[in-house]
Structures are given as C-alpha cells and as structure tokens.
C-alpha cells in the first residue's frame, strides 16, 4: 500500500467495494475469501456483499460485509441487474465491484461502461476473452495462440465418436461444457459419458486427450495487455468429494511460472482467473486444461503468500497502477474448515423481507420474540 | 541442485517445486542432508558407517536403495531445470523458518 490513506475517497467517505458470491458451502463461492483479502489490505474499507440467497453464510459472518443486498439472478438480464446496482449505489455509493462467479460475468460485462459512468470501477476480462476460455475453445487456444493444451474436440453429434481415434489417442477425458468430467478408455465409454453430459449440460461435450500427471492450480491477475500482475500456484493437498480443494500448499516452480506468464501474455488476459495446469508425468511438459475467469475460492492463500491479488484487482478497478509482483514463495499452506455460524433471526428477517442488511446499524443474535416486536 | 528441497531436522521433506511432502527416517534424513551438502553419492556409504553402527557392505546396500527411491520419487530428476530458467526470478523457499 502507498503512503496515502487507501481506505478513504477524496470526499472523505470510506472506499466502498461490492463483492458477489457469498455462498460458503463445501463448494464455496469466492466472495468471502475475496472480502477477507480486501480487508487484510484495507481494514477500513466498506464492503458491500451482493448475495443471491438470504441463506448465504457470508451475509452473516462477523467482519465480512458491512452491508448485504439481495441481487436478482443473472438470468434476469443486464437491465434488472443495472436497476438493482443503481438502487444500491444511490444508498451506498460504490467505488468498485468485484464479481466472483462465472455465471454472472456475461451480465456484468454488458454493464461495464454504464458502471464506469456511475463511477463504479471494474477490472474484468472482455467478452471475447470470456468466449476464448470456454472449454470447447481450449483446442483453438493451442492451434491459434500456441498455448499448450491437450488435443481435443468439441462433440455435438455422437456419430463423430466412432472417428475419435483418428484424431486423439485414448484414454481421453470427456467433459461437460460447464461441469463434470470422466475418463474414457474406449469410444464406447465416450458414448456413455457423452449421453450423460449432453442430458445434463447440453452440447458441446468436450473430449480431450488424457494427460497423466500432477495438477496445479494457479490464481493469476492479468493486466489485459499481456502482462502478469501476479500469480500464486498451489498443489491441492486434500479434496472434497466434488474434487474441490480443501487444503493446499504453494509451490515455486520456475517452469510453471514461465508457463503462466506465457499463457497470460498469449491470452492478453484482463482481470482475475484460475488456471488449471497438468504437469505430465511422462516429462512432455505443462498443459493448460481449464481457465476459470474469476478468483478461485482458495484465493485467500494469495494473501498468505504475500501476494494480495484481490486487493490488486480493486486497485486496478479504481484505475490505479499496480506494479508486477515477484513470484510467490513455496510452502504456504492452507486448510479449509467449516463451523456453525450463529445468526440473528432479525438479520435473516431483514434480508428476506427488505432485501438488504446493514451490519453497521448493529445487530445481535435475536430471538423470535425480538423479531416479532 | 537440491535448492528446491527443504528438509527439517526431524526428517520432514518438502519439495518446493512439486508441493509433495515426505517423512524420512533418521538415516534417510542423514543421507539426504549429506547429498544436499554436496557429498558425492559414491561417498554416502562411508559417511553412513562413520555416523551409524553399520558395516560397509550393509551401508552400501542401504545407500543404493535410498538413491533408487530418491530417483523413483523424481526428487532429483529435474535438478538442472532451474539452470536454464530466468535467473532473475527469486525462489527462496524457507518453509521451516530457515531450517535446511
């Protein structure tokens, strides 16, 4: 942080940042860790949580959001989102907004210019970048941009499965376009997975050559001009049954660092992302297997590693310059945990009936009698 | 060539490049530390007999197995990787507070 007071705006009010994704289940949204990271750099910032559900635990956690507003789902469109953001901004002027969920990005991207006109900064990938990172486009990244990815094809018609072995070596990974993946050792396996994923996620279903090796996950922040603001690479140490990280440790591998720098340069990525990278056990190198266009839920590890990427994203959203960060040190470990949060029924009542909650107004665990008064 | 390995006094080994961790026996810790100090693999058995009550043939067998295991775990396979990379990239890893 610079010598000036980062937590105050020119008019004396606190720097106010809105963050989405406050769900905190065993497959948590990145909102709570993003807010913790911002708080770590700017304790006096005002944080506005934008929640999709009154039961999102991040709405009630101590020291997370100062204000919480219920938001319309992205499927309701950019107009509805803009209307809601304008209403919030009229009450609590926002300086920046950090969307953290894949599903809401396309809607926020439509509003970037209007938000800028309102004085609300964002630092997001462009719509073109977002299209580029689609699972069905990974093979194009290899052929068109020279990014190292496993060879793959996007299937829309099961009739093409019979010819897969002309293009790819088995085994292969079969992936739903949004979620799910399974290994297939034969075209018959591919058929079975194709039908399952098509029914669940639609087409295309993506088939990629299987890369045996170790997976590394990298949280990165690109400047949009080919530069890397910072990155932290992590190896998962324990997983949930959904394969999500429930513990991990930072690694320091210069080849991986170079791969990340090179990939971000080729993509000219703007904003945060998570790169999933396989290090092939046959020594053939590193392969990009997926790009998630937002901070991952384990992003607080970047604070532990001394590379506060969410705060850097806020600074960039405010139009400030952020110097590139040196590579992160190895051996910083995190373990996720869950606990039972005691919540005020009055707070829950406020969110469900009014759609907003203001912790600054002070609340304590309330009983049904207090709510009824 | 072992800069990517962090070994604590109690035998906890962290490979900073891969993120893998291992628990080494007392003799395994001794042997790896010797390698990290620059002892040539062919001298390991003699060092082992100096430090532990073991005869040279048994020590030689144990060292051979140890080196095989180290290679099997790919702990040293990429030992020269850093040489051709960006020298300006600081990678100092001291996960045990400087214990090496």
What pLDDT, on the 0 to 100 scale, is given for residue B78?
Answer: 53
Residue pair A286/A256 in contact (Cβ under 8 Å)? The answer is yes
End-to-end CA separation in angstroms for chain A = 46
Dihedral-angle region of residue A146 (phi above 0 means left; psi in -120 to 50 means alpha; beta otherwise): left
Residues A85, A37 share a domain = yes
Residue A61, domain CATH: 3.40.50.20
Candidates A256, A325, A331, A332: best to mutate against B (most CBs of B within 10 A) is A331
Domain encompassing residue A165 = 155-208
Q: Which residue in B18, B89, B90 is closest to A251 by CB distance?
A: B18
- Give the residue-averaged pLDDT of A223-244: 94
Token pair for A287: 């392969």
Q: Which residue in A234, A248, A331 is closest to B95 by CB distance?
A: A331
Residues A94, A39 share a domain = yes
Strand order in the sheet with A67-70: A96-98, A16-20, A46-51, A67-70, A356-358
Residue ranges of chain B whose CB lies within 8 Å of a chain A CB: 4, 6, 14, 16-21, 81-82, 85-86, 89-96
Contact partners, residue A335, CB within 8 Å, separation at least 6? A237, A238, A246, A247
Report the percent of chain A where pLDDT is more than 70.
95
What pLDDT, on the 0 to 100 scale, is given for residue A169?
Answer: 92
Whether A136 is covered by a domain: the verdict is no
A331 touches chain B (CB under 8 A): yes
Domain encompassing residue B21 = 5-80
**Which chain A residues have a beta carbon less than 8 Å from that of B79?**
none
A260 pLDDT above the threshold of 90: yes
Residues A26, A89 share a domain = yes
Residues A303, A261 share a domain = yes
Residues A328, A308 share a domain = yes
Residues A293, A272 share a domain = yes
Span A326-348, pLDDT tens digits: 999 999 999 999 989 999 999 99
A63 pLDDT above the threshold of 60: yes
Whether A355 is covered by a domain: the verdict is yes
Q: Which residue in B20, B86, B95 is closest to A254 by CB distance?
A: B86
Strand order in the sheet with B12-15: B5-7, B12-15, B21-23
What pLDDT, on the 0 to 100 scale, is given for residue A242?
Answer: 79
Residue A173, domain CATH: 3.30.1490
CA A142 – CA B36 distance, rounded (Å): 39
List the pLDDT tens digit at each of the 100 positions of chain B.
Answer: 788 999 999 999 999 999 999 999 999 999 999 999 999 999 999 999 999 999 999 999 999 999 999 988 888 755 444 444 443 333 444 566 543 3
Question: Of A6-10, A107-111, A183-187, A218-222, which gets the smallest average pLDDT?
Answer: A6-10
Which of A36, A39, A51, A50 lies closest to A14 in space, CA to CA? A39
What pLDDT, on the 0 to 100 scale, is given for residue B82?
Answer: 47
Span A84-94, pLDDT tens digits: 999 999 999 99
- Residue A209 Cα to chain centre, angstroms: 26
What pLDDT, on the 0 to 100 scale, is given for residue A89?
Answer: 98
Nearest chain B residue to A329 by CA: give it: B93
A250 touches chain B (CB under 8 A): yes
3-state secondary structure of B6: strand
Residues A224, A303 share a domain = yes
Report the percent of chain A where pLDDT is more than 90.
80
| DSSP string for A55-90 | T-GGGT-TTS-SEEEE---GGG-HHHHHHHHHHHHH
What pLDDT, on the 0 to 100 scale, is given for residue B74?
Answer: 81
Residues A159, A116 share a domain = no
Give the number of domains in chain B.
1
Whether B97 is covered by a domain: the verdict is no
- Give the residue-averaged pLDDT of A42-59: 97
Mean pLDDT of chain A: 92
Whether A354 is covered by a domain: the verdict is yes
- Give the residue-averaged pLDDT of A178-198: 92
Strand A228-239 and strand A245-250: the pairing is: antiparallel
Whether B75 is covered by a domain: the verdict is yes
What pLDDT, on the 0 to 100 scale, is given for residue B51?
Answer: 96
Mark yes or no for CB contact A326/B18 under 8 Å.
no
Residues A297, A234 share a domain = yes
Candidates B5, B8, B19, B83: best to mutate against A (most CBs of A within 10 A) is B19
Distances (CA, A) of A263 to A6, A103, A137, A146: 32, 23, 15, 9
- Residue A341 Cα to chain centre, angstroms: 24
Whether B89 is covered by a domain: the verdict is no
Whether A263 is covered by a domain: the verdict is yes
A248 pLDDT above the threshold of 60: yes
**Which chain B residues have a beta carbon less than 8 Å from that of A214?**
18
What pLDDT, on the 0 to 100 scale, is given for residue A312?
Answer: 98
What pLDDT, on the 0 to 100 scale, is given for residue B84?
Answer: 44
Span A95-151, pLDDT tens digits: 999 999 998 999 999 999 999 999 999 999 999 999 888 888 888 899 889 999 999
Residue pair A207/A155 in contact (Cβ under 8 Å)? The answer is yes
CA B31 – CA A227 distance, rounded (Å): 43
Residues A315, A252 share a domain = yes
Give the number of domains in chain A.
3
Whether A131 is covered by a domain: the verdict is no
A177 pLDDT above the threshold of 90: no
What pLDDT, on the 0 to 100 scale, is given for residue B98?
Answer: 41
Mark yes or no for CB contact B18/A327 under 8 Å.
no
Span A304-321, pLDDT tens digits: 999 999 999 999 999 999
Distances (CA, A) of A149 to A49, A133, A139, A209, B87: 36, 12, 7, 9, 26
Mark yes or no for CB contact A330/B14 under 8 Å.
yes
**Partners of A358 in the beta sheet?**
A67
Which of A189, A202, A94, A192 lies closest to A154 in space, CA to CA? A202
Residues A95, A69 share a domain = yes
What pLDDT, on the 0 to 100 scale, is given for residue A180?
Answer: 85
């Amino acid at each position: 942080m610079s010598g000036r007071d980062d937590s105050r705006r020119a008019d004396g009010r606190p720097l106010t940042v809105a963050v989405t994704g406050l769900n905190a289940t065993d497959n948590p949204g990145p909102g709570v860790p993003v807010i913790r990271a911002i708080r770590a750099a700017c304790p006096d910032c005002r944080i506005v949580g934008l929640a999709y559900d009154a039961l999102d635990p991040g709405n009630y956690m101590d020291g997370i959001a100062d204000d919480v507003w219920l938001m319309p789902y992205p499927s309701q469109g950019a107009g509805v989102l803009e209307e809601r953001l304008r209403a919030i901004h009229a009450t609590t002027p926002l300086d920046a907004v950090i969307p953290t969920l894949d599903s809401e990005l396309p809607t926020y991207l439509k509003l970037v210019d209007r938000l800028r006109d309102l004085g609300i900064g964002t630092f997001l990938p462009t719509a073109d970048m977002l299209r580029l990172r689609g699972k069905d486009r990974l093979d194009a990244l290899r052929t068109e941009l020279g990014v190292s990815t496993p060879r793959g094809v996007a299937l829309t018609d099961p009739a093409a499965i019979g010819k897969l072995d002309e293009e790819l070596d088995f085994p292969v990974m079969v992936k739903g376009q949004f979620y799910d993946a399974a290994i297939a050792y034969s075209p018959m396996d591919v058929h079975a997975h194709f039908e399952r994923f098509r029914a669940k996620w639609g087409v295309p279903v993506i088939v990629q050559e299987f890369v045996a090796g170790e997976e590394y996950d990298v949280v990165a922040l690109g400047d949009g001009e080919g530069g890397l603001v910072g990155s932290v690479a992590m190896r998962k140490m324990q997983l949930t049954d959904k394969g999500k990280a429930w513990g991990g440790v930072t690694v320091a591998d210069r080849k991986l660092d170079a791969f990340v720098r090179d990939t971000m340069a080729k993509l000219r990525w703007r904003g945060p992302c998570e790169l999933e990278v396989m290090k092939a056990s046959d020594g053939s190198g590193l392969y990009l297997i997926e790009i998630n266009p937002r901070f991952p839920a384990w992003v607080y590890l970047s604070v532990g590693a001394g590379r506060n990427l969410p705060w850097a994203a806020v600074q960039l959203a405010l139009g400030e310059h952020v110097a590139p960060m040196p590579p992160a040190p190895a051996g910083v470990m995190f373990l996720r945990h869950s606990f039972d949060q005691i919540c005020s029924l009055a707070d829950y009542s406020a969110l469900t009936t009014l759609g907003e909650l203001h912790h600054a107004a002070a609340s304590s665990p309330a009983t049904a009698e207090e709510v009824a008064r | 060539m072992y800069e990517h390995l962090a070994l604590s006094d109690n035998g906890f080994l962290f490979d900073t490049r891969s993120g893998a961790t291992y628990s080494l026996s007392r003799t395994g810790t001794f042997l790896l530390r010797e390698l990290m100090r620059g002892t040539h693999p062919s001298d390991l058995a003699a060092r082992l007999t100096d430090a532990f009550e073991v005869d040279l043939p048994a020590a030689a067998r144990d060292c051979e197995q140890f080196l095989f295991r180290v290679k099997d775990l790919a702990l040293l396979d990429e030992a020269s990787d850093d040489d051709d990379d960006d020298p300006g990239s600081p990678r100092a890893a001291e996960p045990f507070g400087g214990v090496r």
